[in-house]
Structure 1
């Protein structure tokens, strides 16, 4: 096609995405918005929705929330399934993310203070 841009073929990789939604968002003042025709408002909404989906292409089928990276979506999906695949070897408590397990493990290693209520001995 005359309109194709970039490398072609099965091995072609997409260029790394460096844009954020704020880079492509267009905002109108209240007066500018009032001055738009209904079809212009609808076009604006469609374009902005498309931009958002392109920049955050991984959508959760459960709640519709979108994520920029597939791994973040996978971690998010565990909140719906209650899956906790990262288990503490000390106490067996499960976590949805390895970073949360690492944070928890400090409780056992003594790196983080754990405060317990003071129980006075009455004897």
Structure 2
């Protein structure tokens, strides 16, 4: 059984500040760069949250981006959190926050 960890973060960004800090596709490039340099990071995605489909409530509370990353295990998630390139990325995106992010980490193979 695998001990893969899923790391989910919801962001409430000032979209003008985000566009100024990360012009064009620089946000995606910066996130994907982490896959190349952080040991144990399997994949990462940072995308705008989509609007709900017709008839569904919009319950995003203004959180407009979502980051989802997958890690080999809890130790790999810690390596990611402490990695110098991740910290530099955090410093850049922190400039664009309208509110603190919401974060959850899940062991996808945990016994319930």
Larger Rg: 1 or 2?
1
Q: TM-score, normalised by structure 2?
A: 0.21
Whose helix proportion is higher, 1 or 2?
1
Kindly indicate which of the two structures has a greater share of residues assigned to strand.
2
